[in-house]
Amino acid sequence: MSRFPHSSQLFRLFRLFRSDPMRTLPWVWVVAMTGLLSACLDSDRDPHPDQVLTRRVGVFKQFGHAMEPLNAMRNGRKPFDRAQFQADVHTLDRLSDQPWRYFPLDGNYPPTRALPAIWTVPEDFQKAKDDFTGAIDQLSQTAQNGSEEQVYKALDRVSESCKACHRNFRR
Ligand code: HEC
């Protein structure tokens, strides 16, 4: 089926408009308001051609969601379940290299919370990324057969590296 109304339907609408403008006027108004509304929403749209800010914030939000069940075990809100823990670590591991491609040279624009240091001192940002990657690798390995204590210690190291990067590179 075509997404567009059949031409005879358009013609009927046109005839209706000519014969009874007052009946079609409310529809004209609705269409005009919809256009205005979407124009307003457009001004909130990410102006970058690749929408890098929206994308990296999206991945960081997934970081947060991936940490939730791990922290729930860490804080005793859920019992330790190794299989589940490993699955959640795997999710985090899979996400861990994804945000960085969304920090191109022209990627610093409002309403970002990223600090200019990411672009002015890239070697320091690289170090923060490497620390994070190292912590994730260690967590993945420890989750295989480490004791509960070792696993939580490795998780703490990951949380520390999230926080360290935020302290230095996020407002
Ligand atoms: C190497 C640096 C770095 C690491 C590591 C890092 N982040 Fe971030 N994070 C950032 C930056 C920079 C921003 C701000 C992005 C922006 O607004 O452009 C951010 C933003 C966020 C946000 C906010 C998204 C929003 O709603 O604005 C969350 C949540 C987040 N990070 C969670 C985490 C978690 C959880 C970890 C660890 C598992 C983590 N981050 C590791 C740099 C990092």
Q: What is the pLDDT of residues 62-108, one digit of tens each?
A: 999 999 999 999 999 999 999 999 999 999 999 999 999 999 999 99
Distance in angstroms (rounded) separating the CA atoms of residues 93 and 164 = 18
Cross-strand partners of 4 = none
Q: Which residues are CB-contacts of 83 (< 8 A; sequence separation ≥ 6)? A: none
State residue 14's pLDDT score: 63
The verdict on the CB of residue 60 being under 6 Å from ligand 1 is yes
List the structure tokens of 91: 């999710």
* Statement: residue 9 has pLDDT above 70: no
Q: What is the DSSP letter of 100?
A: G
Spatial CA neighbour of 103 closest among 142, 139, 59, 144: 59
Distance in angstroms (rounded) separating the CA atoms of residues 99 and 55 = 8
State residue 22's pLDDT score: 74
pLDDT digits over 30-73, tens only?
Answer: 666 665 656 555 557 899 999 999 999 999 999 999 999 999 99
Q: How is domain 52-169 classified at the CATH fold level?
A: Four Helix Bundle (Hemerythrin (Met), subunit A) (1.20.120)
Ligand 1 atom having least distance to the Cα of 128: 1
State residue 2's pLDDT score: 46
The verdict on the CB of residue 139 being under 6 Å from ligand 1 is no
Backbone φ, ψ for residue 99 (5° rounding): -70, -30
* Statement: residue 162 has pLDDT above 80: yes
Q: Model's pTM, two decimal places?
A: 0.80
Q: Supply the mean pLDDT for the chain.
A: 88
Domain spans of the chain, in order of start: 7-42, 52-169
Atom 5, ligand 1: residue with shortest CA distance: 162
Ligand 1 atom having least distance to the Cα of 53: 18
Q: Ligand 1 pocket check: which of 162, 163, 168 to mutate, most ligand atoms within 8 Å of Cβ?
A: 162
